[in-house]
Structure 1
Amino acid sequence: MSAGTHPESGLTKSIWSDEDFDDMGWHDVTIHGLCVQPGASENALPRLLLDLDYIVRWVHPVPPERHFSFWIAPSTLVFDDIRDMEGDLDFKGTAMSLDIHEIQRSTPADEAGGPQWHIEGDRFDLRFRATGYRQYLRRAPQYSSRLVLSHGDRAGLSFAETAFS
């Protein structure tokens, strides 16, 4: 197995970027943590880091099974040079998870450049501008019957920008 690949799940690399946007999908991906990190210098724009369980592959059920299973990898999604961030959270009741429906990208609409990003999910909505992203799959994908890994299976919370090899 070469660096960052995982033949069982079909994964071909462990670091992705906005250049791969059309090949990626975040439907039903769970966000475990969110961090707005200050820029590296006084004039630098901040970064947005998301700790999530990225679904590498959905596995169709084989009868008599009736439910999908999944190959999931704990990952860090990093958006650089963010600005104009706005959004809503709605955690009424006991449901307290951030599950993504989709991430959308639109073309730049102003002179500063950078597309507008829209992360839409169950009970939350986040919009911002960013120059791009990188996603680091920190551990090899794990086979799971659930859409989310346990705290132990994902080795806790992390915003590490390192990929497995």
Structure 2
Amino acid sequence: MHELGTHPESGLTKNTWTDADFDEMGWHEVTIHGMCVQPGAGDDSLPRLLLDIDYIVRWVHPVPPKKHFSLWIAPSTLVFEDVRDVEGDLDFKGMALSLDIDHLRRSTAEDKRDEPQWHIEGHYFDLKFRATGYRQYLRQAPRLSPRLVLSLGDRGGLSFAETAFE
């Protein structure tokens, strides 16, 4: 038996991650299925940015004669708090409409404000914003997949639920 929120087969040690875990995480080739800007809770609070993603928990090297990686993937909600100064670009001319992350970067703001700047670089999009931090909820236990993205049926449709699997 394993602890709640862990998944030994995939190597997952917890089901909820925060910006304190940033150096242990990676979002390369992660697919964004949906994006939501949620108003802040109070009149003077800043909005939140929620992303519905297929988080790649681990890449599995192929064992010959197989030639392609398989992946442990979990439908997840990535929530950035107190978001502002959002700017971005989309360029899907002649391309399939897919939001696949290449890198997610965190940097200190040039004007030395407290909140860092976040930069989500996609294959055909770019998004920059400030946020105080994030929390990522793995909504389902990871499943082994031969593809980079789960079907909507396998992932339970689109969701911005902020609950992690047990």
Calculate the TM-score normalised by the size of structure 1: 0.98
Q: Tell me the CA shift for residue 113 of structure 1.
A: 1.5
- In structure 1, what is the equivalent of residue 21 of structure 2? 20
- The equivalent residue for 1:7 is 8
1:109–1:115 Cα contact (<8 Å) kept: no
Q: Does 1:150 align with 2:140?
A: no
User: How far is 1:90 from its partner?
Assistant: 1.2
The answer for the alignment partner of 2:83 in structure 1 is 82
Question: Any gaps of 5 or more consecutive residues in structure 1?
Answer: none
- Structure 2 counterpart SS, 1:22: helix
State how far apart, in whole Å, the 1-side matches of 2:75 and 2:42 are: 29
In 1: Cα distance, 2:110 partner to 2:82 partner: 16
Written as runs of structure 1 = structure 2, the 5 A alignment for 1:46-65 is: 46-65=47-66
Superposition pairs for residues 22-37 of structure 1, below 5 Å?
Answer: 22-37=23-38
TM-score, with structure 2 as normaliser? 0.97
User: How far apart, CA to CA, are the structure 1 residues paired with 2:103 and 2:90?
Assistant: 16
Deviations 1:52-100 (A, max 9, x none): 0000000000000000000000000000000000000112225000000
Q: Which deviates more from structure 2 when the two are superposed, residues 102-111 or residues 152-161?
A: 102-111
Residue in structure 2 matched with residue 134 of structure 1 by the alignment: 135
Aligned residues: 165
Partner of 1:117: 118
Stretches of structure 2 lacking an aligned partner (at least 5 in a row): none
Q: Which amino acid aligns with 2:74?
A: A
Conserved? CA contact 1:45–1:81, under 8 Å: yes
Distance 2:138 2:157 in 1: 14
Matching residue's letter, 1:45: L
Please give the residue correspondences for 1:37-48 in structure 2 after superposition, counting only pairs within 5 Å: 37-48=38-49
Do 1:15 and 1:136's aligned partners in 2 also have CA atoms closer than 8 Å?
Answer: yes
Q: Give the percent of matched residue pairs that are identical in Structure 1 and Structure 2.
A: 74
Amino acid at match of 1:3: L
User: By how many angstroms is 1:107 displaced?
Assistant: 1.2
Corresponding position of 2:164: 163
More off after superposition, 30-39 vs 110-119: 110-119
Following TM superposition, the consecutive aligned residue runs of length 4 or more in structure 1 with deviations greater than 2 angstroms are: 108-112
Distance 1:89 1:114 in 2: 25
Distance in 2 between the 1:111 and 1:14 partners? 32
